[in-house]
Homo-oligomer: A and B are copies of this chain.
Amino acid sequence: MKEYTPEYLSLIKDIIAQRDDEAARRELQELHPADIAELYEDLDEKEAEYLYNLLDDEQAADVLIELDEDDRKEILSEMPAEDIAKQIDHLDTDDAADILQELDEEDRDEILAHIDDVEQAGDIIDLLKYDEDTAGGLMGTEMIVVNENWSMPECVKQMRVQAEDMDEIYNVYVVDNDNKLKGVFPLKKMITHPSVSKIKHVMQCDPVSVKTDTKIEEIALDFEKYNLVAMPVVDSIGRLVGRITVDDVMDQVREAQERDYQLASGLSTDVETDDTVFQQTRARLPWLLIGILGGIGSAWILGHFEAGLAVNPTIALFIPLIAGMGGNVGVQSSAIIVQGLANGSLDVKSSAKQLFKELGVGLINASIISLLVFVYNMITIGAGDVTTIAVSVSLFSVVIFASVFGALVPLTLERIKIDPALATGPFITITNDIIGILIYSLITSYLMNLLGVV
């Protein structure tokens, strides 16, 4: 990571203040586009705009794609469509489509109309049609494609022409006369097999590929499993339509995991540390409101038991223990399931086996926990006291229930095709809180009646 020292930042700010175009250009020339994008975060809007206008179209486009969505929107909102089109023309089609996706339709069409390279504009329009979270939405169309029947020298000549405009090339894709994907030809073979009669004799057949409608999560697992840096995308009849690169997949993996983490932590929308107080409140309040309902639900249940609490107020002391334990156990078991489903190690088909395992884990934990608390209460309250018995019996039931319930909910959501990550965190905690309180109230009432304490 580039760390900007305060000295460097004040140097840059000075250059900007003096409107020293030449010095500014010199500094910008030294920086990678991603570093320029990062530098913007330490500058105010006016300063960033000044630097941005000094960049040539290609550099500006590279910086644009590296910026935060919010910052990018701000910069684009002040640029004429013609200038945006010029910059976008320098980007790979997948990056261009990602940027255009963020704009409203009117602006998008205006920019597309200004792109000089009609073929590039056409490709972008095609890409915009795909779902954002499928291979089609993730792919770009820049790639080197050769025909399986070409000879090696013919390929090299073609590759030279096609490679001219491309930033990075890792693979050459081989197709037949119908444009159907036949193989992949790692660039490395250019070195080790310099002159073989036909490309089909050196290519790797049956390459790992995905269809345009394959979901992002599945693509990411394939990249990780097969250690890929790029993957071809084919249409429903196997014709090569694009390629996905590992950098886009990595971004997706991080985003998906951040989303799961946020859901588990009770954040309802994507939130960053540099979001405003109001943006953060909007992401956090929904779950807290559900938490209020849960707390009021618990109060309502306990309300039916108020007479018992008046007779034996010691019962109330253990409410946090029972509710908390239900929440903690439930979060653990739901997290294991959600993660297993996300990294592909768990198949929803083996639900029954998994629930049975949860029951086993729950039984062991429940036994240990209720025994430990029993010993504590035996010493402090007495072994025969109704509270001692009620707390341990309730803990035992709550821990087993929470273990199984925490696993059951995400497995069920996955089965009915709802994101199982929604089931984690606050949802499980709050549900288990209420059910824990219910179990505790019922068991205590029953025991108090039985022992004639009321």
Question: Which residues of A are interface residues toward B (Cβ below 8 A)?
Answer: 1, 32, 34, 38, 66, 156, 159-160, 163-164, 166, 168-170, 186-188, 190-192, 194, 208, 218, 221-229, 245-247, 249-251, 253-254, 257-258, 260-262, 264-267, 271-274, 277-278, 280-281, 284-285, 287-289, 291-292, 294-296, 298-300, 302-303, 306, 309-310, 313-314, 316-325, 327-329, 331-332, 334-337, 339-340, 343-346, 354, 357, 360-361, 364-365, 368-369, 372-373, 376, 399, 424-426, 429-430, 433-434, 437
Contact = CB atoms under 8 A, between A and B. Distances in A.
B192 A288 contact: no
B364 A277 contact: yes
Contacts of A159: 191
B340 A34 contact: no
Given A1-B225, A32-B226, A273 B316 contact: no
A265 B332 contact: yes
8 contacts: A169-B191, A227-B247, A246-B246, A274-B346, A288-B399, A292-B372, A294-B321, A310-B310
A313 B306 contact: yes
A261 B225 CA distance: 21
Given A188-B166, A274-B345, A331-B266, A298 B320 contact: yes
A210 to B, nearest CB: 10
B247 A250 contact: no
Given A251-B224, A316-B319, A335 B261 contact: yes
A224 B246 contact: no
A188 B191 contact: no
B192 A164 contact: yes
Contacts of A434: 320
A25 to B, nearest CB: 18
Given A280-B361, A324-B429, 9 more contacts: A164-B192, A187-B188, A274-B346, A296-B373, A299-B321, A302-B316, A313-B313, A313-B316, A320-B320
A327 B288 contact: no
A382 to B, nearest CB: 14
B328 A426 contact: yes
Contacts of A265: 264, 331-332, 334-336, 424
Contact of A188 (B169, B227, B284): B169
A298 B321 CA distance: 7
A328 B376 CA distance: 28
A253 to B, nearest CB: 6
A45 B110 CA distance: 62
Contacts of A284: 329, 332, 361, 365
